């Protein structure tokens, strides 16, 4: 049909014999088809050439992207994401406002790449006191774009292709993808509860000692420790840390210690920094966060400290990716540290008042979760709480959600139908161990009291259905 139409059109504009017209149009159409095919081949070649690189393939979609989109659509009470919904300490935000209007123009420009001098000096001074050893702020401290970048720089800077990295489950979900990007091999070991009835504490979640010993071998480069732990809230005890330390020394393994919740410890528990154990300073990189320390998660300012030879590797990654972090934010965090160091032993110190406030919120959440029929694990630290939700299964229809894992079904059903959002803990497990997280939900309790009370009311409503 198209060929005949083309012939009629040409016949109106030029006088050629019909046979020649037919041959001309047929030739043009053949050329057009060739160009289309060539374009298709070219597009396919372009698409194939720009596929996701092999080192990035196989990583699961981020639970945060999925659940942020869910929250934007359904606008639930968000107890899923780990950020405060109340004001940060006034002296910290006021400092930033003052810096923005400071007469010193250099406070608005690039600062030292490995950390603003005022901040690295403050960090060095603080941890020198806490660790009872002198920390050199110039080569034993690195300021990063959040603790996230500190983790990334540590893993990329120390893990080589084929190196094994031990990851304790459940884990902050970026650990494994970062190891994979570095060419490393993740080896997973889960914390498991030793009891399922009665009041359950995060201390009841433990590693199997023999299983942990079996994880270490000549290929092991690193173990990632998170204490206080997210999402369980476990504060690792002296004996547990000593076992990890002995294995690190025996196999010459680096310990990457994620301690961003270091100030949030409850019930008289004590946060022990593994780098203070005998012969562990020289094999430990410790990570901290201004976002968690001062309740300013949007500032994305973190740090790593450790021996100069280990921090040097992080500096190499940092200088060739991030280069330098925001000067005004670093200056404000430094001023915050300087103030708090003058009152470290005082009840007014934010590092001391915050855990007191959080413990009240923790206890309130634990009670309303129990009243609703859930079984919470009472955290010793951090600001997250895991709860077994399976007693509520008869009251809801999780099968209306198409997801593979039950905790995803539960949290999505609750978001859509009850207006309360939590996070599915199976997102913090390897594929082989995801079933260990399916009966739980993670909630965050560093929220306004009014919002915690609203969550209580929503669960009471579900209970009475």
Strands lying side by side in the sheet with 440-444:
200-201, 375-378, 384-388, 440-444
Give per-residue pLDDT as tens, 282-319: 999 999 999 999 999 999 999 999 999 999 999 999 99
Q: Give the chain's length.
A: 465
Return the number of other C-beta atoms located less than 10 Å from residue 450's C-beta: 10
Of the given ranges (24-38, 125-139, 213-227, 281-295), which has the lowest mean pLDDT?
24-38
Query: Is pLDDT above 80 for 59?
Result: no
Query: Is pLDDT above 60 for 1?
Result: no
Using 50, 70 and 90 to split pLDDT, how confident is the model at 86?
very high
Confidence at residue 5, expressed as pLDDT on a 0 to 100 scale: 53
In degrees, rounded to 5, the angle at the alpha carbon of residue 209 between the alpha carbons of residues 203 and 210 is: 155
Give per-residue pLDDT as tens, 146-165: 999 999 999 999 999 999 99
Confidence at residue 55, expressed as pLDDT on a 0 to 100 scale: 84
Extract the tokens encoding 396: 């809801």
Stated as kind and residue range, the H or E segment containing 257 is strand 254-258
Return the number of other C-beta atoms located less than 10 Å from residue 286's C-beta: 24
Query: Is pLDDT above 90 for 8?
Result: no
Of the given ranges (16-30, 367-381, 411-425), which has the lowest mean pLDDT?
16-30
Confidence at residue 22, expressed as pLDDT on a 0 to 100 scale: 56
In degrees, rounded to 5, the angle at the alpha carbon of residue 245 between the alpha carbons of residues 241 and 247 is: 120
Extract the tokens encoding 178: 């970062």
Using 50, 70 and 90 to split pLDDT, how confident is the model at 15?
low
Rounded mean pLDDT of the chain?
93
Q: Give the separation between CA 240 and CA 206, rounded to whole angstroms.
A: 9
Which top CATH class is 61-87+349-463? alpha beta
Three-state DSSP class for 442?
A: strand
408 contacts 424 by C-beta, under 8 angstroms: yes
Q: Give the separation between CA 72 and CA 67, rounded to whole angstroms.
A: 9
Using 50, 70 and 90 to split pLDDT, how confident is the model at 34?
low
Extract the tokens encoding 140: 């034993």
Give per-residue pLDDT as tens, 206-244: 999 999 999 999 999 999 999 999 999 999 999 999 999
In degrees, rounded to 5, the angle at the alpha carbon of residue 403 between the alpha carbons of residues 398 and 409 is: 30
Using 50, 70 and 90 to split pLDDT, how confident is the model at 31?
low
In degrees, rounded to 5, the angle at the alpha carbon of residue 211 between the alpha carbons of residues 182 and 232 is: 75
Nearest to 411, CA basis, from 385, 379, 389, 382:
389
Cis amide prior to 170 (ω within 30 degrees):
yes
The two beta strands, 254-258 and 284-289, are: parallel
Q: pLDDT: is 36 or 280 the higher one?
A: 280
Confidence at residue 196, expressed as pLDDT on a 0 to 100 scale: 85
For the chain, give every domain's residue range: 2-51, 61-87+349-463, 90-341
Query: Is pLDDT above 80 for 30?
Result: no
Of the given ranges (41-45, 68-72, 378-382, 452-456), which has the lowest mean pLDDT?
41-45
Extract the tokens encoding 386: 């895991």
Cis amide prior to 269 (ω within 30 degrees):
no
Phi-psi region of 233 (alpha: psi -120 to 50; beta: other; left: phi over 0): left
Q: Give the separation between CA 97 and CA 225, rounded to whole angstroms.
A: 36
What predicted TM-score, i.e. pTM, was given to this entire model? 0.90
Give per-residue pLDDT as tens, 324-348: 999 999 999 999 999 999 999 999 9
Give per-residue pLDDT as tens, 399-438: 999 999 999 999 999 999 999 999 999 999 999 999 999 9
Question: What is the distance in angstroms between the CA of the first residue and the CA of the last residue of the chain?
Answer: 66
Stated as kind and residue range, the H or E segment containing 188 is strand 185-190
Query: Is pLDDT above 80 for 26?
Result: no
Overall fold of domain 90-341: 3.40.640
Stated as kind and residue range, the H or E segment containing 146 is helix 146-158
Q: Give the separation between CA 111 and CA 324, rounded to whole angstroms.
A: 7
Query: Is pLDDT above 90 for 251?
Result: yes
Could you please report the per-residue DSSP string of 13-68?
A: H----HHHHHHHHHHHHHHHHHHHHHHHHHHHHHHHHTSPPGGGTTPPPPHHHHHH
């Amino acid at each position: 049909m198209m060929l005949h139409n083309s012939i009629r059109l040409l016949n109106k504009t030029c006088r050629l014999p019909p046979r020649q017209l037919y041959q001309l149009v047929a030739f043009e159409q053949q050329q057009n088809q060739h160009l289309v095919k060539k374009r298709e081949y070219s597009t396919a070649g372009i698409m194939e050439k720009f596929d996701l690189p092999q080192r990035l393939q196989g990583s699961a979609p981020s639970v945060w992207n999925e659940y942020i989109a869910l929250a934007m659509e359904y606008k639930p009470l968000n107890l899923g994401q780990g950020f405060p919904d109340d004001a940060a300490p006034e002296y910290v935000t006021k400092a930033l406002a003052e810096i923005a209007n400071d007469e010193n123009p250099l406070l608005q420009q690039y600062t030292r790449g490995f950390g603003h001098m005022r901040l690295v000096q403050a960090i060095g001074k603080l941890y020198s006191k806490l660790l009872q050893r002198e920390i050199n702020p110039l080569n034993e401290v690195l300021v990063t774009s959040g603790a996230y970048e500190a983790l990334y720089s540590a893993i990329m800077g120390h893990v080589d292709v084929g190196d094994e990295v031990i990851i304790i489950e459940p884990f902050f979900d970026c650990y494994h993808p970062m190891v994979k990007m570095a060419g490393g091999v993740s080896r997973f070991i889960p914390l498991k509860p030793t009891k399922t009835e009665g009041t359950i504490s995060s201390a009841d979640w433990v590693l199997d000692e023999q299983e942990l010993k079996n994880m270490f071998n000549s290929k092991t480069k690193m173990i990632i420790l998170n204490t206080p732990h997210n999402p369980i809230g476990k504060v690792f005890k002296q004996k547990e840390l000593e076992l990890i330390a002995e294995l690190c020394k025996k196999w010459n393994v680096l310990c990457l210690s994620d301690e961003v919740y270091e100030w949030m410890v409850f019930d008289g528990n004590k946060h022990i920094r593994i780098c203070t154990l005998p012969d562990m300073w020289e094999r430990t990189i410790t990570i901290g966060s201004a976002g968690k320390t001062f309740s300013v998660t949007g500032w994305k300012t973190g740090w790593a400290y450790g021996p100069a030879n280990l921090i040097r590797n992080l500096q190499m990654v940092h200088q060739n990716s991030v280069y330098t972090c925001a000067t005004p934010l670093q200056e404000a965090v430094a001023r915050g540290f300087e103030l708090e160091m003058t009152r470290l032993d005082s009840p007014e110190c934010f590092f001391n008042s915050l855990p007191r406030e959080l413990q009240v919120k923790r206890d309130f959440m634990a009670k309303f979760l129990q009243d609703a029929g859930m079984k919470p694990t009472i955290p010793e630290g951090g600001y997250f709480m895991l709860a077994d939700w399976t007693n509520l299964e008869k009251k809801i229809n999780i099968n209306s959600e198409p997801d593979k894992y039950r905790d995803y079904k539960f949290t999505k059903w609750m978001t859509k139908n009850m207006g309360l959002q939590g996070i599915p803990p199976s997102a913090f497990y390897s594929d082989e161990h995801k079933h260990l997280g399916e009966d739980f939900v993670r909630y965050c309790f560093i929220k306004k009291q009014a919002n915690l009370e609203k969550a209580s009311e929503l669960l009471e409503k579900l209970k009475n259905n």
